[in-house]
Amino acid sequence: MSTPSEPAPFVERLGREVRRRRQAAGLTVQGLAGRAGLSRRILTQIEQGTANPSLVTIDKVARALGVDFATLAASPAAEPLHISTAVEVWSSTAGSRAVLHVSSARRGGPELWEWTLRPGDRYQAQPDPPGSEELFLVTAGTLLLETSERTVTLGAGDSARLASDRVYAYAAPWDGGPATFIRVVELGYVPFPPSFPTGKFVSA
């Protein structure tokens, strides 16, 4: 599964927000890269808007800055009633996409996502912080929800809850139409500063 070769507006906006928060925290590029477990080159590309980072990579940068993914991605306002703008955060060359519709103003609060997976496409996720959960509602097609313990098949109208502090994946079978589903995410507590190992580089 791959992402488009051209950076999306979201990636460019994300890069500006990462640079702004890094500079406000008094961190060098190398310093933030070390905290996030990334290479300096990858972090530089993210800040310049020339990389197409995975959701896992963005999450690592967010935690290293002492915030969560939704804060970097959507920067929601804290007023009692906030009208959000949907942001396409991830897409694949097969036409799959993940859209963040709205997130809580509270750090670690719920995030409302809409996903579409084309037939045969798969998204591999990494463990979230302890205590994290995801809620799913399949609106069309068939969704395969995979963990190391089991794989479940969800059809339109089915719902599920997943403790996401483990390796997991979403997939759509080849022999069917696109799988579309609503996903609500609530991350567990992430201490700051996070304890990412230094010297362990991952790709964007």
Q: What is the pLDDT of residues 55-111, one digit of tens each?
A: 778 888 988 888 877 777 765 566 778 787 888 888 888 999 999 898 887 777 899
Of 94 and 2, the structure prediction assigns the larger pLDDT to 94
Task: Please compute the mean of the pLDDT values over residues 155-172 and round it to a whole number.
Answer: 95
Domains and their CATH numbers in the chain: 9-67 (1.10.260.40), 87-186 (2.60.120.10)
Output the pLDDT for position 177.
92
The total of other beta-carbon atoms located within 10 Å of residue 151's CB is 11
Output the pLDDT for position 7.
44
Judge whether residue 201 has pLDDT over 60.
no
**pLDDT by residue (tens digit) across 108-158?**
789 999 999 999 999 998 888 888 899 999 999 999 999 999 999 999 999
